[in-house]
Amino acid sequence: MDIDIRGPRFGATLTTLVLAAVLITSSGVLLGWQALCFAVGAALGVPRSPYGVLFRTVVRPRLGPPAEFESPAPPRFAQAVGLVFALVGLVGYLWGPPWLGLLATGCALAAAFLNAAFGYCLGCELYPLFRRGVAVLRLT
């Protein structure tokens, strides 16, 4: 079942705000929260992530019907990519080196901002390449 494209974009907006706060405060706890959000989105799907539930229960009822839908697989993959960056950032913030936390968080922030501001999902764009690579691995 396809999902409302506004949901992942709403989640990207909240993610952008959280990751900007992480960069400002160097808060490993806040980055841990975002990593948890990414993990739930990757494991259960974007609509079941904390930001997806917030969108579905609070925001979407106040909006008109969606004009566009998308497959849930690419945003779910994007959540997994975000999780990797958040985990690398946590390693940097909690155990060092600090620049690793800044770099990984900055990369995740750039991707989230692109989705929030322009509707361009980097993880979604990588998804077909990932699928093609998995298909090649299955053939060998």
- pLDDT per residue as tens digits for the range 10-64: 999 999 999 999 999 999 999 999 999 999 999 999 999 999 999 999 999 999 9
With b for 16 or more beta-carbon neighbours within 10 A and e for fewer, the 91-129 pattern comes to ebbeeeeeebbbebbbbbbebbbbbbeeeebbbbeebee
What pTM was estimated for this model as a whole?
0.91
On the question of pLDDT at 109 being above 60, the answer is: yes
pLDDT of the residue at 136: 61
